[in-house]
Amino acid sequence: MTKETILVNGCSAGLGLDLIKRLKNKYIVYGLSSKPSNKKNIFFYNPLVNPTMNYYLLGNLKNLKIDHIIHCSGGGLGYKDKLLNLNKLIELFNINFFSIYEINKAIIKLKTKKKPLNIIMIGSIAAFESKASLGYSSAKSTLINYNKLLAKNFFKEKITSKLIIPGSFISTKGSMSRLKKSKIKIFNKLEAQIPLGKMQNSSDIINCIDFLLDKKSILINGSYISLSNLESKSIFL
């Protein structure tokens, strides 16, 4: 059988980097990275500067015949101001929402009518809980309604959309990995607050993604899946 093609958005570090390593033998995998790379399957795309893609990148995406998009881009950028500067807020929305919107729009326009497209987005528990900064939490919460509307508006075009809501997790060069390395006391305090007493790993999230990449998951459309590791206090999760 012909291998399906996956585009991983946000693969310079964290979950996206781990995903490419895990999926590259089973799928044809391409990545969008905010850091320049000499690898042929990794394209430079920095949403912090401008979430709109240039003609060169659009030209490359046109030839990929993508079956799945996995959006791993995101971050708080260290912005924790209670009265956040508008430019900083726009940066947070660029990396956590606007770039995702722009990539989806571009791929949907490029796809043929009969070819299915499966979109998987990575949100955050911060969308439901007051555990993170105002800007980051606001941007991540936008993904919830966007995911529902994306699925509703495009199901006739054979497009499905899913949103994963993880809690804190460890990944290669990810924020929690950096925190564990630089400020172990703070990391240990955060991990101790998790009901199960241990932070999850990126491999736990990838196991869920594996299922969502399978055609058996087709009925999961417009839904979000909580992988909060009991961190959430919200009963609907």
Phi, psi of 150 (to 5 degrees): -60, -45
Question: What's the pLDDT score for residue 234?
Answer: 58
Q: Is position 195 within any domain?
A: no
Tell me the CA distances in angstroms from 101 to 43, 146, 190, one per residue in order: 18, 9, 32
Q: Is position 192 within any domain?
A: no
CATH number at residue 23: 3.40.50.720
Q: Is position 11 within any domain?
A: yes
Q: Which residues are bridge partners to 5 per DSSP?
A: 28
Question: What's the pLDDT score for residue 237?
Answer: 46
Question: What's the pLDDT score for residue 156?
Answer: 92
**Which residue range(s) make up the domain with 35?**
5-172+200-227
Q: Is position 232 within any domain?
A: no
Q: Is position 161 within any domain?
A: yes
Question: What's the pLDDT score for residue 99?
Answer: 96
Q: Is position 48 within any domain?
A: yes
Question: What's the pLDDT score for residue 112?
Answer: 80
Q: Is position 18 within any domain?
A: yes
Report the number of distinct structural domains present in the chain.
1
Average pLDDT along the chain, 237 residues, taken 10 residues at a time: 91 93 94 91 91 92 94 91 92 95 95 90 86 88 96 94 91 82 86 81 93 92 87 58
Question: What's the pLDDT score for residue 236?
Answer: 47
Q: Is position 150 within any domain?
A: yes
Instruction: Record the tokens describing residue 31, joined without a space.
Output: 């990545």
The strands making up 42-44's β-sheet, listed across from edge to edge, are: 42-44, 28-33, 5-9, 68-71, 117-122, 159-166, 223-227
Q: Residue 81: how many CB atoms within 10 A of its CB?
A: 11
